[in-house]
Amino acid sequence: MVAQSDKIWLFAEKLACTTRRYFTSFTPEFTGSALDLSAFNCDVVVCLSNMTELSSRKVVICDPDQSWPERFSEISANLKKYLSAGSASYKTIEHIGSTAVPGLPAKDNIDIIIIVANAHDAESVVDALLHEAPADSHYVPIGDGGIRGRISLKHCPRDLEKDQSVYILCEDNPDSMLMARGHRALRDTLRAPEHKWLKDEYGKTKIELAKTSTSGLEYGRRKNPIIRKILKAAGWTDEDIIAEQALDHRVSWDDDLPY
Q: What is residue 148's predicted lDDT score, i.e. its pLDDT?
A: 94
Res 35: pLDDT: 33
pLDDT digits (tens, 9 = 90+) for 180-220: 999 999 999 999 999 999 999 999 999 999 999 988 889 99
Cα separations in angstroms, 101 against 104, 106, 126, 188, 246: 6, 9, 27, 8, 24
Is residue 255 pLDDT above 70, yes or no?
no
Q: What is the DSSP string of 173-198?
A: -HHHHHHHHHHHHHHHHHHSGGGHHH
Residue 157 has pLDDT above 70, yes or no: yes
Residues contacting 1, CB < 8 A, separation 6+: none
The answer to whether position 217 is within a domain reads yes
Residue 257 has pLDDT above 60, yes or no: no
Burial of 245 (0-12, 13-18, 19+ CB in 10 A): middle
Residue 164 CB partners (closer than 8 Å, separation 6+): 71, 75, 109, 110, 111, 112, 155
Q: Look at residue 56 and tell me whether its pLDDT is greater than 90.
A: no
What are the respective helix, strand and coil percentages of the chain, to the nearest 5? 50, 15, 35
Q: How far is CA 211 from CA 49, 58, 105, in A?
A: 25, 8, 14
Cβ density class 192-207: b for 16+ within 10 Å, e for less: eeebeebbeebbebbe
What stretch of H or E contains 127? helix 119-131
Residue 257 covered by a domain? no
Alpha carbons 33 and 42: distance in angstroms, whole number: 21
- Structural domain of 226: 4-252
Are the C-beta atoms of residues 147 and 247 closer than 8 Å to each other?
A: yes
Cα dihedral 45, 141, 111, 105, rounded to 10, equals -40
* Domain-located, residue 122: yes
The model's pTM is 0.78
The answer to whether residue 32 is domain-embedded is yes
pLDDT on residue 258:
42
Q: Confirm whether 79 is domain-assigned.
A: yes
Instruction: Yes or no: say if 28 and 249 are a contact pair by the CB < 8 Å rule.
Output: yes
CATH number for the domain spanning 156: value is: 3.30.460.10
135 closest CA partner among 47, 3, 9, 16: 9
Number of domains in the chain: 1
Average pLDDT, the chain: 81
| pLDDT tens digits for range 159-177 | 877 899 999 999 999 999 9
Q: What percent of the chain has pLDDT over 90?
A: 64
Whether residue 215 lies inside any domain: the answer is yes
Residues 6+ apart with CB under 8 A from 135: 5, 8, 9, 12
The answer as to whether 129 is a domain residue is yes
40 inside domain: yes
